[in-house]
Amino acid sequence: MDLSERRGSAETRHPWEQARARFFEGLAARLVRPSVPVAWLDVGAGDAWLGMHIADSLPTGSSMVCWDVNYSDDDLATLAAEAPALRFTTDQPTDRADVISLLDVLEHVDDDVALLTSLVEQNLADDGVVIVSVPAYQQLFTAHDTALAHHRRYSPAQCRRVIESCGLRVDEEGGLFSTLLAPRAVQKGLERVRSPRPAADESIGVGGWTGGPLLTKTMTLALNADAAVSRWISARGRVLPGLSYWAICRRSAT
């Protein structure tokens, strides 16, 4: 999760976060060849919970660098103790990576093209892969996005244009969490007729989850099924609209 969403130890992860982790771990498993170590750069890694999960599934000898400009000295010390096999930094690395992930990152920066271009030019191996995910559809921009310091949401076409302008091509793409579109549309509609109430800090983002074990498990299973359907449809060359959009990218031929 983003550092801004972190609340205490977050022992019970939000169902959305758990389903999202399972989905991207599945993508990672397809991209990485067994027994071939890879160098992975996770941009905007936050509390590194997802990075730790992906790192555990990588072949022996692989490396994971978690880069987040918002890490404090305390964050760096705590994370280094929790995950000594990972490297944490506030500065853009100088080495090349076989896989670069930007999972819900581009919406946080003023110049998304400049960030992605910099990563492609400075950090992506010649035959490397970039995994991108972003919140989808500007029409669904709500107070929730404002509270999380999002500059924008993306249509699939808009995100493709950003990706392609940075010297990449989209190899695979899809939507994620289509079942959450309706609740977000309702929220957007309510905000149009009445001003949203300021959210308490503890309720912002996935870090504010307080659901019990049964509710957490039920919602996680439902979102896992949602993600599986989205993946099945994307494998057939279609993008199922969802609350998020994702893409697997490589350097373009030009």
Give the separation between CA 183 and CA 226, rounded to whole angstroms.
Answer: 15
User: Cβ distance 194 to 142 under 8 Å?
Assistant: no
Residues with Cβ within 8 Å of residue 73, at least 6 apart in sequence: none
Give the separation between CA 138 and CA 184, rounded to whole angstroms.
Answer: 12
- Residue 174: name the closest of 64, 69, 23 by CA: 23
Q: What is the pLDDT of residue 199?
A: 56
User: Cβ distance 108 to 44 under 8 Å?
Assistant: yes
Q: What is the pLDDT of residue 202?
A: 47
User: Cβ distance 170 to 132 under 8 Å?
Assistant: no
Q: What is the pLDDT of residue 211?
A: 78
pTM of the entire predicted model: 0.90
DSSP 8-state secondary structure symbol assigned to residue 246: E
Structural domain that includes position 35: 3-251
User: Tell me, what CATH number does 52's domain have?
Assistant: 3.40.50.150
Phi-psi region of 53 (alpha: psi -120 to 50; beta: other; left: phi over 0): alpha
Q: What is the pLDDT of residue 135?
A: 97
Residues with Cβ within 8 Å of residue 206, at least 6 apart in sequence: 1, 5, 13, 14, 16, 17
Strands of 124-135's sheet in order across: 87-89, 63-67, 39-43, 97-103, 124-135, 244-251, 168-176
Tokens of 82: 């929790």
Q: What is the pLDDT of residue 194?
A: 83
- Average pLDDT for consecutive 10-residue bins of the chain (254 residues)? 56 88 91 92 94 91 96 95 94 96 97 97 96 97 94 97 96 95 94 73 59 89 95 93 96 80
| CA 15 from centre of chain | 15
Q: Please state the domain count of the chain.
A: 1
Query: CA-based angle 170:15:104, to the nearest 5?
Result: 35
